[in-house]
């Protein structure tokens, strides 16, 4: 069937470059790319790119063809920094040779708006996790939260959450958490910079829609929190059981027996994943917002004072909570460097003000030169008919290529950026 021509748009030009899409809530970054790819594969706009790719595949050696895992011919896409499924906002997308430029976006600054809900801590540091502990919050006010933010401005160090994509001994941290296994060693704090951090809005209890998760962690899951996150939330009986396990392990190691210890539910299910969350396991796990892969940076920065959970006697159970009081929340805005975890900020801020905190909402409003409301395409538009999204996409890609050409001339006049097929 002949594909429809687009008025005013060439369907013989090779379309490549970088653009941004406004990622909706409750969908993974990978799924956004799959949906966009589905639209592009069927379009007239990307027909020249697909034809060129078919020609290139035919010219490949047999060895190259055998090594290719995915034999399908599809428009090549990639993203420049993933967002958690619960997050919304700017998701950078590279198409064709534009994917080679995505590394530039992993190291740029990003701007976020986040809402922290006080009074509870979860294993994931956000409202999608299981509640590990609760703490008082009636003493909180806009003034003491604003004062606490000073500790998180400028050059600081930050410990990534256990549910993150950083690797330790070749395995991602979230894989240890899902399997209920202890990590091989302490998660190290990492240097990050908060260029701007402001309290945009104070939300008193009962004046906002945010609530704690309904599900609480069981004793075994709290044991993992004790060992990995140093949260004093497990019962004494459970701690004694863990101590007995540690003594047995030490004896085995003394005898030269190598054993990998796992902490699992009785039915062997992965700890920390409810049935609803297991369905998300096919997509990339919660990954840091504004993230980068673990690096060997040895920059020396001053770390904030160590923060721990409130003493056990001040922690609260569901029965101890006020019958009418509801926890307050705060809406923050921040501009941060690569590697910054907004979830860690919410967790640490809660402890800093003598309570607990979890991230309940996150929007990435800007990444590099892409900003919501200015030059970011809407996800819903990209899923509509081609005559809706094609003109918008072509305009954004043309603008981006114009900026790259200008930057190339300024940096190296004799070197031109080219996205034309070679």
Catalytic residue annotation: 84
**Distance (Å, whole) CA 164 – CA 314:** 29
* Spatial CB neighbours of 284, under 8 Å, sequence gap ≥ 6: 28, 29, 30, 82, 165
CA nearest to 110, candidates 4, 194, 220: 194
User: Token pair for residue 125?
Assistant: 């540091």
Give ∠ CA 330-334-338 in degrees, rounded to 5. 135
**Could you give phi then psi for residue 342, rounded to 5 degrees?**
-65, -35
**Distance (Å, whole) CA 414 – CA 95:** 26
**Between β-strands 357-367 and 88-95, what pairing exists: parallel, antiparallel or unpaired?**
parallel
| Residue 284: burial class (beta carbons within 10 Å; 0-12, 13-18, 19+) | middle
Q: How many residues does the chain have?
A: 422
DSSP string, 47-109: HHHHHHHHHHHHTS-HHHHHH-S-------EEESS---TT-EEEEEEEEGGGGGGTHHHHSS-
CA nearest to 6, candidates 153, 15, 65: 15
Helical packing angle, 236-254 and 219-228, nearest 10°:
60
Provide the β-strand partners of residue 216. Answer: 131
What radius of gyration do the chain's Cα atoms show? 24
* Spatial CB neighbours of 388, under 8 Å, sequence gap ≥ 6: 381
User: Token pair for residue 387?
Assistant: 């005559």
Tell me which DSSP letter residue 310 carries: P
| Residue 240: burial class (beta carbons within 10 Å; 0-12, 13-18, 19+) | exposed
**Distance (Å, whole) CA 208 – CA 203:** 6
């Amino acid at each position: 069937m002949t594909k429809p021509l687009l008025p005013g748009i060439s369907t013989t030009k090779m379309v490549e470059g970088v653009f941004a899409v406004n990622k909706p809530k409750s969908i993974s970054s990978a799924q956004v790319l799959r949906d966009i790819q589905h639209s592009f594969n069927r379009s007239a706009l990307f027909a020249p790119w697909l034809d060129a790719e078919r020609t290139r595949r035919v010219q490949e050696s047999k060895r190259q063809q055998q090594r290719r895992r995915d034999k399908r011919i599809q428009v090549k896409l990639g993203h420049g920094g993933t967002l958690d499924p619960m997050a919304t906002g700017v998701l950078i997308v590279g198409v064709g040779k534009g994917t080679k430029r995505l590394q530039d976006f992993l190291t740029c600054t990003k701007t976020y708006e986040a809402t922290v809900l006080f009074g509870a801590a979860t294993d994931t540091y956000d409202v999608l996790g299981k509640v590990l502990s609760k703490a008082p919050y009636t003493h909180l006010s806009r003034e003491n939260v604003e004062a606490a933010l000073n500790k998180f401005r400028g050059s600081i160090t930050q410990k990534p959450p256990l549910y993150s994509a950083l690797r330790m001994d070749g395995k991602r941290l979230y894989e240890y958490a899902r399997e209920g296994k202890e990590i091989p060693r302490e998660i190290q704090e990492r240097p990050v910079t908060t260029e701007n951090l402001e309290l945009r809005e104070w939300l008193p209890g009962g004046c906002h829609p945010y609530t704690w998760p309904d599900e609480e962690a069981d004793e075994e899951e709290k044991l993992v929190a004790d060992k990995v996150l140093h949260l004093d939330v497990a019962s004494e009986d459970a701690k004694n059981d863990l101590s007995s396990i540690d003594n047995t392990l030490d004896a085995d190691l003394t005898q030269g027996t190598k054993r990998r210890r796992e902490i699992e539910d009785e039915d062997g299910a992965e700890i920390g994943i409810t049935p609803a969350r297991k369905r998300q396991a096919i997509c990339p796990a919660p990954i840091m917002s504004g993230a980068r892969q673990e690096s060997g940076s040895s920059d020396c920065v001053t770390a904030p004072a160590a923060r721990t959970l409130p003493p056990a006697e001040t922690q609260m159970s569901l029965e101890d909570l006020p019958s009418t009081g509801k926890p307050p929340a705060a809406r923050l805005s921040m501009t941060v460097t690569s590697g910054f975890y907004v979830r860690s900020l919410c967790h640490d801020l809660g402890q800093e003000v003598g309570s607990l905190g979890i991230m309940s909402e996150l929007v990435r409003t800007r990444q590099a030169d892409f900003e919501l409301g200015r030059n970011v395409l809407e996800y819903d538009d990209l899923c509509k008919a081609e005559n809706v999204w094609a003109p918008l996409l072509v305009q954004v890609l043309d603008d981006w290529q114009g900026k790259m050409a200008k930057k190339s001339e300024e940096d190296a006049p004799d070197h031109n950026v080219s996205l034309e097929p070679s």
